[in-house]
Amino acid sequence: MTAVDVLESRTPPLRTGPSGHAIPSEAASPDLATRVEATAAVALANAATVDRDGCFPEDAIASARAERLMGIMVPGEFGGEGASIAEVADVCYRLGQTCASTAMIYAMHQTKVACLVRHGSGDPWHQRLLRRIASEQLLLASSTTEGKGGGNVRSSAAAIQRDGSTISLERSATVISYGAYADGVVTTARRSEDAEASDQVLVAFLKEDYTLEPQVSWDTLGMRGTCSAGFMLKATGEPSQILPVPYEKIHVQTMTPVAHLLWASVWTGIAAAAVERARLFVRKAARHANGQLPPGASRVTELTASLMKLRSLMDSALRRFEQAADDERALASVDFQTAINLVKVEASEQAVAIVLTALRTCGLAGYRNDGDFTIGRYLRDVLSSPIMINNDRIMSNVGTSALMVGIPDSLHS
């Protein structure tokens, strides 16, 4: 029996929502950890195929829908579970240990949901969308990368066009991760034709609102299953689909901290999986050599310490965000914004270093792609981390602000 068979055997009867997605009965819903493990098993079973073929992790995302993981951050009043950022980060971490593409898709989706929850839950149109996310387990894609602007998400070229009670947008999006497979897309845009590039809004379009014309393919070293191709996005809708809060605020209060924390949780999961594989390699090698340890065994302690350091970094960052989450001034402070950006940089660099050390621990067995101890997929996937919003760009942007952050007098934040 496959992992998918096991999942289907214990999943409640499904009903179908307006989007056509199957929706599980809410009766006797198992606890979150059990549901995450069910999806992690499906993700693991399909990870090699997703990576090899560069295909969307359809089975894993179907499992996440069936286990009602897509809407866990939606508040209870809209049919969700009101999960905390730490709980969502744990899901990303666990999925990152199994299939990085599945985990990153989940992380990006939840970042969009977080923006809707914090900045749209008081608005009727976005309330309805949140209810649909919870009931139909919709998958939201993100479109913040555009044309020559590259990774500068605080600058938009395409503008919202207004014609009476209708808005429209044509956007050359060089990357829309899993755009062809999503139920909707949340995108940045200039507020109007005469607005500055930095005067942006965030707008949600559902699948029936837009078309995608392929422009740039996705054939990459790793994270292949995110299917982050480029498209010309042509969308129409109504003004109420624009979030009522300027993107400048959304970016500072939610988009940046949540994205960085959830992405980093995925990378930490990849690193943890690589460490575990290195440990298994050393144990097996010692058993087959009458207890004599292989040359790379001395690195296991280094790996354990490095992973502990990375997990501690993430735990501290999550706590800090949760403490500041209801304080707009704290979120916008130079100190917090510098710290959250540096968390992204530090987590990505540490994760890469850990996976590389795991590769050296396993030696040729880790270098091979056809053995039980291959590190190849972990390495290729984690190498995306320093270039998802390039670390060099971040370090350049925070350089001046870092000079303004004082040295703490205490070890406690």
- pLDDT band of residue 4 (cuts 50, 70, 90) is very low
DSSP code of 159?
A: B
pLDDT given at position 13: 33
Segment 179-208, tens digit of pLDDT: 999 999 999 999 999 999 999 999 999 999
Q: Which of 210, 347, 360, 372 is nearest to 268 (CA)?
A: 347
User: DSSP labels for 260-328?
Assistant: HHHHHHHHHHHHHHHHHHHHHHHHHHHHHTTTPPPGGGGHHHHHHHHHHHHHHHHHHHHHHHHHHTT-H
Question: Above 50 in pLDDT, residue 6?
Answer: no
Question: Above 70 in pLDDT, residue 16?
Answer: no
Q: Assign a CATH topology to domain 247-402.
A: Butyryl-CoA Dehydrogenase, subunit A; domain 3 (1.20.140)
Q: How does strand 14-16 pair with strand 22-24? A: antiparallel
140, two tokens: 């939201």
pLDDT given at position 29: 52
Tell me the average pLDDT of the chain. Answer: 91
* CATH 1.10.540.10 boundaries in the chain: 3-138
Q: Which CATH number fits domain 142-241: 3.30.420.10, 3.90.420.10, 2.40.110.10, 3.40.50.12780?
A: 2.40.110.10
pLDDT given at position 340: 96
39, two tokens: 């999806």
* CATH 1.20.140.10 boundaries in the chain: 247-402
- pLDDT band of residue 15 (cuts 50, 70, 90) is very low
pTM of the model: 0.91
Segment 153-172, tens digit of pLDDT: 999 999 999 999 999 999 99
Integer angstrom CA distances of residue 400 from 33, 83, 394, 403: 42, 35, 11, 5
- The CATH architecture assigned to 3-138 reads Orthogonal Bundle (1.10)
- Which stretches does DSSP call E strand in 94-243? 140-143, 161-163, 166-173, 184-190, 200-206, 210-216, 230-237
- pLDDT band of residue 397 (cuts 50, 70, 90) is confident
Q: Which helix (H) or strand (E) holds 193?
A: none
More confident residue, 133 or 403: 133
